[in-house]
Amino acid sequence: MMNTKALKDAATRQAFKLMQNPKVMKLVTNPKVMGTVMKAMQARQKWNAAVEAQVVRIAHRFHLVTEKEVSELRRTIRELERRLEAASVPSQTLGGSPSQPTASA
């Protein structure tokens, strides 16, 4: 099985080969062709957005979390961990190490 880096490299090499072909260069510089390519790319983006919105609606209907919600939760946890660590650092430097018991008589 071919890994993604090798596949990407092969596709890049093929694209460069095609771009050296005069017929392909003429086709790429044609405004009508480029307009059609742009419309196709926009249609794909709209399709992807519509599918993503539908997936989110279905996930919420079944009380499932979405990938975006998991990412937000992870980000919040990291931020809370940073705040907790920042809050604990000054207390350790002021009163010594919190793990050492104080002498009580």
pLDDT per position as a tens digit, 19-36: 899 998 888 889 999 999
Q: Is residue 93 part of a domain?
A: no
User: What residues make up the domain containing 76?
Assistant: 17-81
Statement: residue 1 has pLDDT above 60: no
Q: How many domains does the chain have?
A: 1
CA distance 101 to 104: 9
Q: Is residue 6 part of a domain?
A: no
Q: Is residue 9 part of a domain?
A: no
State the pTM of this model. Answer: 0.52
Q: Is residue 7 part of a domain?
A: no
